[in-house]
Structure 1
């Protein structure tokens, strides 16, 4: 997995493989395979939230 620059946007998608759903991001991140589509979407939202927090810290914001 590679990290995207602090200034680049993250865009997530959720795809299905059989009975599993996987969240992925343009930065290369991928969540675990989930049987619950809602949980895969939550994984994606958590990833976006974590990257927003990390980006804010990198720019010196609390």
Structure 2
């Protein structure tokens, strides 16, 4: 590991949502994905909770 590399535990987090049929899922750039939800708002809340816990 070089001195200018970011720490291993520093991951990029960027939440997005995707829809498939009547379900919405929050996803993060770090690879995390929340459960499929019927409520878009609940999927967004899942993403916000992931960011808060990161």
Please tell me the TM-score bracket, short chain as reference: 0.7 to 0.9
TM, length-normalised to structure 2: 0.80
**Greater than 6 Å deviation, 4+ residue runs:** none
Size of the alignment, in residue pairs? 47
Query: For the aligned residues, what is the CA RMSD?
Result: 0.9
Aligned to 1:34: 37
TM, length-normalised to structure 1: 0.71
Aligned to 1:10: 13
Aligned to 1:48: 51
Bigger Rg, structure 1 or 2: 2
Structure 1 portions without partners, runs of 5+: 52-62
Structure 2 portions without partners, runs of 5+: 1-7
